[in-house]
Structure 1
């Protein structure tokens, strides 16, 4: 049998370390036929989650305690190559996606059929909608409870999650304030239709919000923390909802210690709420969200912006993680497997 059919490659966490690259090895996984209830899928693209990957590498995710070694990566899309006994609803060649931890950073996936969902096509855009798009939709509508015409602010707005949040809020007729760093990202956000783009490198976000949006923010979505979180919180409207979907600024494992009045002083008099968003806790809402996103995409109402730096093959995944962490990426970072 040719060697290509004997093994496939995957990324495995083999030690805890300061960086993803230091913590992993690329390993050869022996091929096997899918067992009863399983699918074998040839992955075409994987999505990069650099902050999560780094925290996993550092053993710093409280709700996940991994044994060593463990496979890594969360999101991948590809086509069905083999089907185990008893599996219904899938055919050879079907495009499918997975968001199963350990199923992302690998060339070939074998797992229970329940770990995969059928999708319109095995493309980078569809993978982005299945994963990051679902997060954007649920963060905005389910956790943020956005209403048509409200004022919405979004941090890291030029990133994979942020650029979809911008478009989904615009479809609701909202006034969208997009926060980013750098002129190239700002140009992209203006092209998508953001009403106000704030480059935090050259403008004071809190001052802009106070001067230009005195009625406050109805919904703010923050994945950065630090000064951006503070600016959003200070400038919320009565009954505003501040949704926290990450804390990229605290990636070094040393969260900033803030000496300031407790958050109660910022939320009580205006009835503001601060809400955490964790997509993995909302699995029952994923199917309907996916279908809505697929239709919006097919109708040309949203677009997927993919970072234009190319990454090819399993070997490029550590480079892609580091590129995302650099703050220079724009749109969704993916690897062509």
Structure 2
């Protein structure tokens, strides 16, 4: 579906706990680098987070906030925090994001490739999680400069895949146990996105309220006998379309430290199929303590229908005080 350019604007609300944020995530397997840059507004102040992994370990971890902004910024071009500057070059099509920190420079260009994943505010996952918004698979290019004292400047050229999302709302963590964000990127023609919320008191995936979609070329036939068979595209220009997968099936293996070590995601477009089954394990990650919340952040290597890709698997959970 076509997105209204006005949706690029930050949202404002007087509702308690309301926030608005854009998140740019990227991965380049050949360069061995992954990262997330988030810029948000809440309660009239801006905050930012930059996380970059190189060789599977954190190379950049910086967060800061408390930067006053106007009551209703007209664009994220007018918002900056934690050294992050975000520009909308072409609404819902092209963006730039930079993070300038001590000894660090991240400069990225993002271009939308697949169809947008749009969370309807009437969807049960939106009502349960208190959020709405959209996500767009992207091609990501740019560079990362790392200056370690006493060592030569290191420059990493980024030419990979990723996702740019814009979400807003006021989640009620008194009624939530945890939330999941799971994404997979397989080049310019195939990607998936899953969001799941677990109500307070629930203990398994079966109790979670989920929203998921897959962006893929129009399909003419599908061989469900062989999980390694790729669906054949229909005749046409092959432009990816976003198709909702109403009831994703998620299985997650967790280690002794509570972090996720393996996952399987099944995305059914309908009861008759096609079904997309992705399996993966983390290639980079860390844990961030955020007051009463804990974020287990990870980038996964995924295998889906004979293809290999990368993506995020983040778990944000309430910490018992």
> Which structure is higher in strand share?
2
Greater CA radius of gyration, 1 or 2? 1
Larger RCO: Structure 1 or Structure 2 (Cα < 8 Å, ≥ 6 residues apart)?
1
> Which structure is higher in helix share?
1
